[in-house]
Amino acid sequence: MMLNVKIGASISLSYGSQLLEGNTLVALMEDPILVSAANSFKAIPERKFPVYEESGVDRLMKNKWVYLFQREYGTVDPAFVDFVGTDEATTCVGIVIRNKKNGMTSVSHMDSPNIVDMGLSQMLLHVVDHNMEAELDVHLVGGFEDVSPNYAYSSTRSESQEQLDGHSFPLCAKIVEALFTRPENFHVQTLFVLGHNTRRDSEGNAYPIFHGLVVETSTGLVTPACFDRTSRCPDEIVRRIRVTSAYEDPSWSGKLLETYDTQTDQFRIASCCWSFRQKDISLTLKSLSDSEILLICSTSPSAEAPDFVDNLRRQWEYLIEHPDWRETFPSKQARAFERVGDGGWKRC
């Protein structure tokens, strides 16, 4: 079977079925145009959110943005939203799919190969609008060489070596494979993953160069980005807890979490439940040292952002204070948030 994908603005490459079995990602990582695009992306200064005015006044600009946590996705209309982005990715990957004609933009934060197929279908629902001929720009940012590249890029890996692939490579490989096998017209513009997104210290330890991205919806410009606690909103802690709860909820198996309503420009945090046992677990975890928490709770303990442990501790504190999930979701109703004048959110 021959499949066709366009890379960048002008190059078209064809790959046979043998390449799809494991070497597609490797070929793309070595493509000169994508290597050049990755080098250009690396040189872009990381954009920080919230955005403050140049005058130094400690006041948010009235930009409207949508933020996505791990395993969430959101599709935004440029008529409503100026920026959409995600961060906190180490072995995860941020994906952007944008319709060049109408600017509709979907962003997700994928954390497992198991959610890629259904996740892409969710992302594309409001982007293609049944128009399979739509030109779709694709950007991938995240993941890093969390194992030796000699293992990850080997074309003759044994079963024992497969176990050393880490988390980033299998996820990136699955995303690329899924894009190649879908019928939509994808244009891969940015592939800033794995080796392209890896820096090493003097001892050879690997770290991601960037943990996040943001899209300017009016232009489609994608830049590195990081967010702080005030801009990872709305409903930060509940959404973080929902990510964990979703792993135990069969209704979310294989899916990305829905949070943002494209048509109404509102957040709707669907109900999730947790057991009273979570309070005891949270009390135990909270008593651990920072280093112990990193080892137990992270896929890449040495590469997490400085606020990783603090974010977990705040989740556990919430579960300790609210052991009954029905306090958070009375009558299983979603938690809804609407946009306010300064671009922020209020409960509705």
Q: What is the pLDDT of residue 69?
A: 98
Q: What is the pLDDT of residue 251?
A: 86
Assess whether pLDDT exceeds 50 at residue 82.
yes
Residues 6+ apart with CB under 8 A from 119: 73, 108, 110, 255, 256
Task: Return the higher-pLDDT residue of 28 and 159.
Answer: 28
The Cα–Cα gap between 69 and 241 comes to 11
The Cα–Cα gap between 206 and 166 comes to 13
Q: What is the dihedral of CA 24, 34, 206, 157, to 10 degrees?
A: 20
Q: What is the pLDDT of residues 307-322, one digit of tens each?
A: 999 999 999 999 999 9
What mean pLDDT do residues 188-200 have? 97
pLDDT band at 126 (very low <50, low <70, confident <90, very high): very high
The Cα–Cα gap between 348 and 346 comes to 6
Residues 6+ apart with CB under 8 A from 270: 242, 257, 258, 334
H-helix or E-strand spanning residue 81 = none
pLDDT band at 193 (very low <50, low <70, confident <90, very high): very high
pLDDT band at 150 (very low <50, low <70, confident <90, very high): low
Task: Return the higher-pLDDT residue of 154 and 311.
Answer: 311
| Strand 335-339 relative to strand 345-347, pairing | antiparallel
* Max Cα–Cα distance, the chain, nearest Å: 58
Evaluate whether 324 touches 277 at the Cβ level (below 8 Å): no
Question: For residue 314, what are the CA distances in angstroms to 157, 297, 321, 326?
Answer: 41, 14, 11, 19
Assess whether pLDDT exceeds 90 at residue 117.
yes
Q: 318: exposed, middle or buried (C-beta count within 10 Å: 0-12, 13-18, 19+)? A: middle
The Cα–Cα gap between 169 and 197 comes to 12
pLDDT band at 50 (very low <50, low <70, confident <90, very high): confident
What are the backbone dihedrals phi and psi of residue 198, each rounded to the nearest 5 degrees, phi first?
A: -125, 135
By mean pLDDT, which of 9-18, 114-123, 278-287 is the weakest? 9-18
What mean pLDDT do residues 181-210 have? 95
Residue-wise DSSP of 197-265: GEEE-TT--EEES-S-EEEETTTTEEEEEEE-TTTS-SSHHHHHHHHHHHTT-GGGTT-PEE-EETTTT
Q: What is the pLDDT of residue 37?
A: 97
**Residue 148, SS3 per DSSP:** coil
pTM of this structure: 0.89
